[in-house]
Amino acid sequence: MTSVMVFVGLDYHQNSVQACVLDAEGNQVLNRKFPNNTGAIIRAIRRLGQVKGVAIEACCGAADLADEILQEAGWSVSLAHPGYVARMKQNRDKTDFSDARLLADLLRVGYLPKVWLAPKELRQLRHLVRLRQDLVAQRRKLKLQIRALLRENRIVAPGGTKAWTCDWLAWLRTTDALTDDDRWIMDRRLESLGEMIQKIRVVEQRLRERTKDDAVIQKLRSFHGVGLVTSVIMRAEIGHFDRFATGKQLARFCGLSPRNVSSGERQADAGLIKAGNTQLRVVVIETAQRLLWQLDNHWARLAVRLLRKGKPRNVVVAAVANRWIRWLYHQMQPEWLAA
């Protein structure tokens, strides 16, 4: 191995990896396709010089490749944000050859837009969280189909019966207001809904067992309004709270910061930023809504002050969620967790 300093860009695919190696001056030393074999890639690159860093565009499977390179070669590996990397391209042509070179070049000049490489245990937790989200989405779809069938037949539940309660479901299973075909369809929908609810319970039990010894989740669940699902989603998506420099940075990561549209003397906001994990933002806003039901706390009093100023309710809830996650940032620092 020579003493030449080199920078590596890897364009990952399921069956192959395009590897580009640049020296400190930006000269291309290597740019070719390898089989998806970490050992072969490491051996080929190691002969070209001293590796300063490796850049991989974040995608499905890229984190596992980064872990393998880190463990086998000990090189510094960074995941690149695919959206920002695409905006930095000087043309619209897309080839593995140019993508790998761009990653290596951005790493070389220090402009690589990096994303956090979550530990493997957190990535596995995310898989469970994603499974639950998929099942919940299927449950929501079934409920919409059931309600649509009732509307199609102009059927209204008996007065005072709240939808999706045991009494409402019992009425739905026995009502004779449906035609024969729609009755058969409704029975199939209800059967699928029961199975989906049971699957969600099984996944939630798995999450409960999986996280019973997680200190971060136990700390999160000690706060009012935070249950199992909320704490697990926050743990899976945020990971370590101390990886953010400030609570304001964490709020922006959660998609709870207002988007600035100021120009000249005009200072204005334009709603929440369209960034971050949607489900993470949802659970934080739902937590804020639960806090507002408790009238004798700091968050409810903040909401009352904002409402008296004429702020719309949705803006007030988002503002409370923003303040709460920034407060939570300070509560979840390592010194607090150790206490």
User: In whole angstroms, what is the distance from residue 255 CA to residue 241 CA?
Assistant: 15
Please say if the pLDDT value at position 294 is more than 90.
Answer: no
- Give the pLDDT score at 118: 92
Please say if the pLDDT value at position 64 is more than 60.
Answer: yes
DSSP state of 242: G
Percentage above 90 pLDDT, the chain: 72
CB 256 within 8 A of CB 322: yes
pLDDT tens sequence across 150-197 = 999 999 888 778 889 999 999 999 998 999 999 999 999 999 999 999
CB 34 within 8 A of CB 40: yes
- Give the pLDDT score at 337: 62
User: In whole angstroms, what is the distance from residue 212 CA to residue 225 CA?
Assistant: 19
The stretch 311-331 carries a mean pLDDT of: 92
Count CA atoms closer than 13 A to 166's CA, side-chain side: 0
Structure tokens at 89: 């391209």
CB 79 within 8 A of CB 63: yes
Mean pLDDT taken over the chain:
90
pLDDT tens sequence across 77-125 = 999 999 889 888 877 778 999 999 999 999 999 999 999 999 999 999 9
CB 53 within 8 A of CB 29: no
- Give the pLDDT score at 264: 67
The stretch 259-269 carries a mean pLDDT of: 68
Residue type, 148: A
More confident residue, 205 or 157: 205
Between 104-113, 223-232, 274-283, the lowest mean confidence (pLDDT) is in: 274-283
pLDDT tens sequence across 213-224 = 999 999 999 998
- Give the pLDDT score at 263: 66
Helix axes 62-73, 120-152, angle to 10 degrees: 170
The stretch 5-11 carries a mean pLDDT of: 95
- Give the pLDDT score at 2: 63
3-state secondary structure at position 331: helix
C-alpha torsion angle, residues 100, 104, 109, 111 (rounded to 10): 60
- Give the pLDDT score at 261: 66
